[in-house]
Amino acid sequence: MADDDGPNGWIVTDALLLQAAIFTAATVSGLTGFAFALVAAGIVFHLRSPADATALILMGSFLAQVMSLLRLRQRVAWADLWPFLAAGVIGAPVGSLALGHLYPGTVRLGIGLFLSFYALYAMRLPVTYVSPLAGRLSDAIVGFLSGVLGGIAGLSGALMTAWCLMRGWEPARQRAVFQSFILVMQAYSLMSLALVVGISQHSLIDLAITGPVMVAGVVIGLWLFSKINGARFRWLVLWLLLVLGVVLTISEISAMLTSHPG
């Protein structure tokens, strides 16, 4: 009897941990518009193989973005979005091609350091700060670089989110822009994953198991978002960017030290 309870108990624990990770990630994503992968990865990659974890996180993040954008659809303005998207769809394949010449870990380390220092710097700026470089040309440059970073290291949203904070837009407008961009980049990544590696039946089962809690998390996150003001939203985004930057920096330095112990 004990032998039967052991595996069954682990299966239940595994499912609960997976649901807890996805629910938390979906809530944070619903609240801030990003960071689904940042929150989910720590647990999901310990419970699943890298391929299955990547597929589940990509699918979950994509669906969470779709749900959020359905709520924010009236705030999506093509005039705001097109410079980012037009440049981003060019940057993404450039980033993929650059994979053969650049080490993704080094790129992630650079992004981690940048986000850490950016967040600490931006926390000192007034809430109403608008970058003197704000404009369509800068938007296109950021979109291109975000596409490149997405192609190299899967980090298409980090720079976009940081830049939108500097545009002086109110929170819903920021989210409508950077979430639309992230959604397009994730669709590109999902298609690439499906065509090159494939999405396993196990990943689809995991998505079905976690689907209800993911929907609940996004709904709760969006409700919380409706209750906060612009200053609080900015504070939340900056702290998440700081956490993302620190986690990326520490993980990449740790990986480098492990691969070169001497």
pTM (predicted TM-score):
0.83
Task: Look up residue 193 and give its two tokens.
Answer: 């994953």
pLDDT in tens, 145-161: 998 888 777 778 889 99
Identify the CA nearest to 22 among candidates 63, 68, 72.
Answer: 63
Residues 6+ apart with CB under 8 A from 7: none
Q: CA-to-CA distance for 116 and 122, rounded, in angstroms?
A: 10
Angle, helices 201-226/50-72, rounded to nearest 10 degrees: 40
Q: Which residues of the chain have pLDDT under 70?
A: 1-11, 260-262
User: Residue 257: what pLDDT?
Assistant: 85
Residue-level pLDDT at 191: 85
